[in-house]
Amino acid sequence: MAPVYMAAFSNKFVEESSKKPRPVKTTGTKRLVPNNILTAIRKDKELNDIFKDIVIREGGVPRSEKKEKSEKGKKSQE
């Protein structure tokens, strides 16, 4: 049963992480860093439930939508 669960989980994780490259687009970088992965996990209800007790090394604090918008506004003002 465990191999079936792990296969389903890894399939879901890859599918969700490939759908959500938004943090990378908003920061203007071409790399996916641990903080981007953590932010995507925390924004998805199912992944957040699975990863609630997991620590992602160098993940930091998940970016909030307000912070992303305020940074975007600062860039456009410059």
Average pLDDT rounded to a whole number, residues 8-37: 70
**Long-range contacts at 6-9 (CB < 8 A, ≥ 24 apart):** 9/50
SS3 of residue 63 by DSSP: coil
Query: Is 0.75 topped by the overall pTM?
Result: no
Average pLDDT rounded to a whole number, residues 9-27: 67
- CA-closest candidate to residue 60, choices 77, 36, 28: 36
User: Which one of 1.10.20.10, 3.40.50.970, 3.30.450.20, 3.30.70.100 gives the CATH number of domain 2-69?
Assistant: 1.10.20.10
The per-residue pLDDT for range 47-58, each reduced to its tens digit, is 888 888 888 887
pLDDT, position 72: 58
